[in-house]
C-alpha cells in the first residue's frame, strides 16, 4: 500500500516537472512604441515586460507596467502617464491568449523563425479588445526568442487625445515586443 502511494506521488511529481519543462517565461522582455507625425516623433521603451508561454497547450500571456515606459523627454513621460494612460488608475497593459493552430511544440522539432499568431484579449487603459498578434519564435538552445510588431489605435482603448495635440500623435501606434524566454522552474 505504502509503495503504491509513493509511486503515485512520484508520478504526480514527475508530471509536474514535465509540465514545467514546457512553460517558458521572462521578467525582462522589451516593449517599445513609436508614433510618427510630421511635427514630432514620440517613442518610449520598457524593459520590464513579463511573459509566460506554455508550449504544451499554446497559451500565451504578457503584461507590462505602464509607468515603466521611459521617454527621451521627461515632459512626454509625465503627459503619457497622467493625461493619456492615466497609469495610476490603469497601471498595466496585458495580453492573454492562445497561439493559433497550436499542436504541441517540442524543442527538437521546432524550426527557427516560425511565424505564428496569437488570438486573445489585449487590455490597455482598462479596455479589453479581441486581437490577433503576429509573432516570430526562434529556438536558441534551451531558450526561445520571441518578437512581435503590431499596431494599436488609442481610440480603440478609450485613450483621449486633446484636440490641441491630436495632430502630434499618430492614429495608430506601432508596438514592438521582443523577449528571450527561458524554462520556468518550479
Query: Could you tell me the residue ranges of all domains in the chain?
Result: 2-183
Q: Are 56 and 104 in contact (CB under 8 A)?
A: yes
pTM exceeds 0.95 for this model: no
pLDDT value of position 51: 96
Architecture of the CATH domain 2-183: Beta Barrel (2.40)
Mean pLDDT (the chain) is 84
Tens of pLDDT, residue by residue over 157-171, are 999 887 877 777 888
CA separation for the pair 162, 80 (Å, rounded): 12
Q: Is the model's pLDDT at 27 over the cut of 50?
A: yes
SS3 186: coil
Q: Is the model's pLDDT at 75 over the cut of 60?
A: yes
Query: Each residue of 107-142: b (16+ CB within 10 Å) or e?
Result: eeeeeeeeebebebebbbbeeeeebebebebebeee
Backbone angles phi, psi at 167, to 5 degrees: -75, -10
Tens of pLDDT, residue by residue over 87-108, are 999 999 999 999 887 765 544 4
What is the DSSP secondary structure assignment for residue 82, as one 8-state letter? I
Residues 6+ apart with CB under 8 A from 72: 43
Helix (H), strand (E) at residue 91: none
Query: Each residue of 55-66: b (16+ CB within 10 Å) or e?
Result: bbebbbbbbbeb
Tens of pLDDT, residue by residue over 3-23, are 443 333 333 333 333 344 689
CA separation for the pair 163, 161 (Å, rounded): 6
The residue assigned the cell 493552430 is 101
CA separation for the pair 123, 95 (Å, rounded): 6
What residues are paired with 70 via a beta bridge? 45
Amino acid at each position: 500500500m505504502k509503495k503504491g502511494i509513493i509511486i503515485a506521488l512520484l508520478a504526480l511529481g514527475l508530471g509536474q516537472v514535465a509540465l514545467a519543462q514546457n512553460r517558458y517565461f521572462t521578467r525582462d522582455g522589451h516593449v517599445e512604441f513609436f508614433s510618427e507625425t510630421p511635427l514630432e516623433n514620440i517613442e518610449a521603451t520598457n524593459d520590464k515586460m513579463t511573459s509566460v508561454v506554455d508550449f504544451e497547450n499554446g497559451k500565451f500571456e504578457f503584461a507590462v507596467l505602464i509607468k515603466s515606459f521611459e521617454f527621451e523627454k521627461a515632459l512626454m513621460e509625465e503627459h503619457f502617464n497622467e493625461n493619456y494612460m492615466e497609469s495610476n488608475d490603469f497601471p498595466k497593459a496585458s495580453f492573454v491568449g492562445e497561439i493559433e493552430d497550436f499542436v504541441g511544440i517540442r524543442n527538437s522539432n521546432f524550426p527557427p523563425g516560425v511565424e505564428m499568431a496569437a488570438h486573445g484579449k489585449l487590455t490597455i487603459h482598462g479596455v479589453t479588445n479581441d486581437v490577433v498578434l503576429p509573432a516570430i519564435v526562434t529556438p536558441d538552445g534551451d531558450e526561445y526568442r520571441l518578437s512581435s510588431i503590431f499596431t494599436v489605435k488609442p481610440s480603440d482603448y478609450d485613450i483621449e487625445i486633446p484636440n490641441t495635440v491630436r495632430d502630434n500623435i499618430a492614429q495608430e501606434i506601432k508596438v514592438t515586443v521582443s523577449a528571450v524566454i527561458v524554462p520556468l522552474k518550479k
